[in-house]
């Protein structure tokens, strides 16, 4: 089933960590397997933020060597970053197996991502100037607590609670997806794509990589590919309504925008609250009300509808 | 008999059945067969109010039931907070005023109450409604009034996709626009949309009537324009007046959509003859 949520503060920032935690916790019944956040903080010059993991949460419960492997893999990440000319400005342990690095790096991000992900167990969750992508097993309160997300200041955010259907219950298959290799682009999705393999094979031939077998990842890579060819976000999303097959409602965020798209059947829910200074979207109104408990006007976007808001 | 023996041998009758429905069946001599369990005799002059903010869905529905049990016929609920499945299964007359918005599956399976919602409703409001009125002041989500069998279901704002899917009776009225696939497999009843209607309107409808005041993005399979007559106009004017609503361009200028009845299920062929054709 899955639950998705998005919010954007227009012309200001807010405690998006706390807000998105509340929204996703109220959608817990739509998917208890994993929870993910794409939070957009304030960029600090050209400093890149890299969120990555070197093991799955499940891996940490098995095997005698996993703790040593995590240390080895992280050391290898550090070594390869240095090789590529990246300077680690700050390195933080988010959990035992997931990390947050701020980097001084002006090189090719795709090359960096490929080189880092060549390390066994390593996956870059996000690479961007404002975007920080956090996802793990458990509900929103668990993940938010483990990664200390409350108090995270920013302009906009996406979130996802996952009911695993066609792929595994692990971080790799959890949403949101970073639109590799584009900085600051992320996607959450509720639904099912029926032309996943056709689309994936086409995009792989064009040089894109997939980290999971989750159909939602296709949307992120598809949009990245379109933007790589020069389309703007709204055009890319409008094309997706025709070119992606299946039932879907998805949200996408870039450095300064938040967008939503709904398939032509309108088979997956989305409730929208729009005011001059705040936009809130969620699979259920109850999520928006976790941020706005007072009476507000909301509505369902229609079939085939694409909307984009700037922060 | 042979079949029964066979099914016993296949282990299909080995479970021990229990419960009333397994032991007794309908009998016209039993009074309880003519009344709903959980239907209460209420007095409209007895009024109660409660705040639903801190209550769960079950607690809210039990609270309504408890008040009806005590004879309260007018109930005001505040702060429903868009929770799901609120005010479902009310099987008697009741004036219920909801000051706020409901989530999914609100007012489902109701049979008799008059419910007035001052906010918005999510997906599947009044699904399988049997009788009474449900009036929503703001917007409604998709599958509004799915499989409704009777009563009046009114949304003064816009409604999402698949409204009145499998409608079997009653009336659905929308003040604004509606999404795609509305009236899909509609079987009976009336649907009035004062604004625009989405694509595939009335797809595969068996019967019933759809009236649209605005533009229709597209008709579904076997949905065809019908001829508006005086009876249609009189009925619609009277019905809309009940809810303080008006067709922007007058009811005479609305478009009437009915079933063309040309689909395969309307032919008189025997199965063997159909095979020949197919």
Name the domain boundary from A83, A103, A129: A129
**Residues of A with CB below 8 A from B81's CB?**
286, 289, 293
Among A286, A295, A299, the residue with its CB nearest the CB of B139 is A299
> Is residue B80 pLDDT above 70, yes or no?
yes
Q: Which tops the pLDDT comparison, B36 or B66?
A: B66
Across chain A, mean pLDDT equals 93
A170 and A252 assigned to the same domain: yes
Average pLDDT for A245-259: 95
pLDDT, residue A62, reads: 81
User: What sign does the CA torsion over A223, A224, A229, A232 have?
Assistant: positive
Residues A38 and A48 in one domain: no
pLDDT of B209 above 50: yes
Residue A2 falls in the annotated catalytic set: yes
Q: Tell whether B65 lies on the interface with A, counting CB pairs under 8 A.
A: no
Residues A223, A188, single domain; the answer is yes
The residue among A129, A151, A171 that closes a domain is: A129
Which among A285, A286, A300 has CB closest to B142? A300
pTM: 0.87
Q: Residue A163 has what pLDDT? A: 86
List chain B residues with CB under 8 Å of A288. 82
DSSP labels for chain B?
Answer: -HHHHHHHHTTTT-SPP-SHHHH----TT-GGGGS-TT----EEEEEEEEE-TT--HHHHHHHHHHHHHTTEEEEEEE--TT-SS-S----S--EEEEES-B-TTTTTT-EEEEEEESS-B-TTTTTT--EEEEEESS-B-SSTTTT--SSEEEESS-B-SSTTTT-EEEEEEESS-B-TTTTTT--EEEEEESS-B-SSBTTT--S-EEEESS-BS-B-TTEEEE---HHHHHHHHHHHHHTT---TT-GGGSEEEEE---SGGGS---HHHHHHH-
* Higher per-residue pLDDT: A309 or B9: A309
**pLDDT tens sequence across A90-146:** 999 999 999 999 999 999 998 999 999 999 999 999 999 999 999 999 999 999 999
Clarify whether residues A104 and A252 are in a common domain.
Answer: no
**Shared domain check, A241 and A104:** no
Comparing CB atoms, the residue among A269, A285, A303 nearest residue B101 is A285
CA distances from B77 to A140, B57, B141 (A): 30, 13, 21
Residues A288 and A213 in one domain: yes
Q: What is the pLDDT of residues A47-87, one digit of tens each?
A: 999 999 999 988 888 878 999 999 999 999 999 999 999 99
A222 and A273 in a common domain: yes
pLDDT band at A212 (very low <50, low <70, confident <90, very high): confident
pLDDT digits (tens, 9 = 90+) for B118-146: 999 999 999 999 999 999 999 999 999 99
A168 and A201 part of one domain: yes
- Domain finish residue from A93, A109, A129: A129
Best mutation target, A295, A304, A305, to test chain B (most B CBs within 10 A)? A295
Range of the structural domain that residue A200 is part of: 3-43+130-310
Same domain? For A79 and A158 the reply is: no
Q: Number of structural domains, chain A?
A: 2
Out of A110-124, A203-217, B42-56, B155-169, pick the least confident.
A203-217
Query: What is A89-110 written as a DSSP string?
Result: EEEEESSSSEEEEEEE--S-HH
Residue in B closest to A293 by C-alpha: B81
Find chain A residues with C-beta within 8 A of B122's C-beta.
Answer: 269, 271, 284-285
Burial B195-213 (b: 16+ CB within 10 A, else e): bbbbbbbbbbbbebbbbbb
pLDDT of residue B272: 73
Of A182-186, A232-236, B67-71, minimum mean pLDDT range = A182-186
Cβ–Cβ pairs < 8 A, chains A and B: 66
Do residues A84 and A223 share a domain? no
Structure tokens at A199: 């689309």
CA-closest candidate to residue A159, choices A130, A136, A181: A136
* pLDDT at position A173: 84
Q: Which tens digits make up the pLDDT trace of B181-206?
A: 999 999 999 999 999 999 999 999 99
* A36 and A50 belong to one structural domain: no
Mean pLDDT of all residues belonging to chain B: 89
Instruction: Please tell me what DSSP assigns to residue B53.
Output: T
Gap between the Cα atoms of A185 and A257, Å rounded: 9
Considering the domain architecture, whether residues A233 and A262 belong to the same structural domain is answered as: yes
Tell how strand A278-282 and strand B152-155 pair up.
Answer: unpaired
Per mean pLDDT, which range of A13-27, B205-219, B236-250, B253-267 is the poorest?
Answer: B253-267
Where does the pLDDT of residue B273 fall: very low under 50, low under 70, confident under 90, or very high at 90 and above? confident
Strand-pairing partners, residue B255, are B212
For residue A271, what is the domain's CATH number? 3.60.20.10
pLDDT of residue B20 exceeding 50 = no
Indicate yes or no: CB of B142 within 8 angstroms of CB of A299. no
Inform me whether the pLDDT recorded for B21 exceeds 50.
Answer: no
Q: How far is CA B61 from the centre of its chain?
A: 19
pLDDT digits (tens, 9 = 90+) for A178-210: 888 888 999 999 999 999 999 999 999 998 888
User: Residues A149, A133: contact at Cβ < 8 Å?
Assistant: no
Res. A28: pLDDT tops 90: yes
Contact criterion met (CB < 8 Å) for A285 and B122: yes
CA torsion through residues B12, B17, B21, B25, sign: positive
CA atoms of A254 and A6, how far apart (whole Å): 12
Task: Look at residue B274 in the predicted model and tell me its pLDDT.
Answer: 67
Contact A217, A177 (CB under 8 A): yes
CA–CA dist A180, A52 (Å, integer)? 13
B105–chain A Cβ distance below 8 A for any pair? no
Within 8 A by CB and 6+ apart from A195, the residues are A244, A245, A246
CATH code of the domain containing A81: 3.30.70.1290
């Amino acid at each position: 089933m899955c639950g998705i949520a998005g919010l954007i503060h227009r012309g200001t920032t807010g405690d998006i960590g706390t807000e998105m935690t509340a929204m996703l916790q109220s959608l817990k019944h739509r998917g208890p397997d994993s929870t993910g956040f794409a939070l957009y903080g304030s960029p600090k010059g050209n400093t890149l933020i890299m969120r990555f993991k070197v093991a799955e949460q499940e891996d940490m419960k098995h095997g005698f060597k996993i703790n040593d492997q995590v240390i080895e893999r992280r050391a290898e990440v550090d070594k390869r970053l240095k090789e590529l000319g990246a300077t680690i400005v700050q390195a933080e342990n988010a959990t035992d197996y997931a990390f947050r690095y701020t980097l001084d790096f002006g090189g090719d991000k795709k090359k960096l991502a490929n080189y880092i992900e060549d390390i066994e167990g390593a996956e870059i969750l996000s690479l961007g100037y404002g975007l920080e992508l956090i996802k793990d097993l458990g509900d929103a309160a668990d993940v938010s607590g483990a990664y200390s997300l409350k108090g995270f200041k920013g302009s906009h955010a996406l979130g996802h609670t996952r009911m695993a259907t066609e792929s595994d219950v692990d971080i790799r298959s959890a949403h949101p997806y970073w639109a590799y290799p584009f900085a600051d682009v992320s996607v959450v999705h509720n639904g099912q794509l029926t032309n996943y393999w056709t689309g994936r094979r086409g995009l792989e031939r064009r040089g894109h990589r997939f980290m999971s077998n989750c159909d939602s990842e296709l949307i992120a890579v598809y949009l990245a590919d379109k933007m790589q060819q020069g389309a703007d976000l709204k055009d890319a999303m409008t094309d997706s309504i025709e070119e992606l097959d299946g039932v879907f409602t998805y949200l996408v965020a870039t450095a300064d925008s938040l967008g939503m798209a709904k398939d032509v059947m309108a088979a997956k829910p989305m409730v929208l609250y729009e005011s001059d200074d705040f936009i809130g979207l969620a699979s259920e109104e109850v999520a928006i009300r976790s941020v706005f408990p007072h009476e507000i006007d909301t509505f369902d976007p229609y079939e085939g509808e694409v909307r984009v808001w700037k922060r | 008999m042979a079949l029964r023996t066979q099914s016993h041998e296949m282990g299909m009758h080995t479970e021990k059945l229990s419960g009333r429905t397994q032991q007794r069946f309908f009998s016209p001599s039993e009074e309880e067969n003519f009344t709903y369990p959980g239907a209460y005799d209420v007095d409209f002059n007895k009024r109660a109010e409660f705040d639903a903010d801190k209550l769960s869905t079950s607690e809210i529905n039990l609270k309504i039931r408890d008040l009806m049990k005590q004879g309260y016929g007018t109930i005001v609920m505040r702060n429903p907070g868009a929770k799901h499945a609120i005010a479902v299964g009310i099987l008697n007359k009741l004036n219920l005023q909801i000051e706020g918005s409901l989530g999914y599956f609100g007012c489902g399976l109701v049979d008799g109450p008059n419910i007035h919602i001052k906010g918005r409703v999510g997906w599947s409001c009044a699904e399988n409604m049997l009788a009474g009125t449900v009036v929503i002041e703001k917007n409604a989500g998709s599958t509004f009034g799915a499989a409704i069998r009777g009563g009046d279901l009114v949304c003064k704002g816009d409604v999402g996709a698949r409204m009145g899917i499998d409608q079997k009776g009653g009336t659905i009225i929308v003040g604004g626009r509606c999404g795609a696939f509305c009236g899909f497999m509609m079987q009976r009843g009336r649907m009035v949309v004062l604004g625009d209607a989405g694509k595939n309107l009335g797809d595969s409808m068996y019967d019933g009537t759809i009236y649209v005041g605005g533009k229709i993005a597209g008709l579904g399979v076997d949905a065809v324009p019908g001829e508006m007559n005086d009876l249609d106009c009189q009925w619609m004017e009277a019905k809309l007046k009940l809810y303080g609503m008006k067709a922007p361009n007058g009811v005479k200028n609305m478009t009437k959509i009915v079933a063309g009845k040309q689909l395969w299920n309307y032919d008189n062929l025997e199965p063997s003859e159909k095979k020949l054709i197919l």
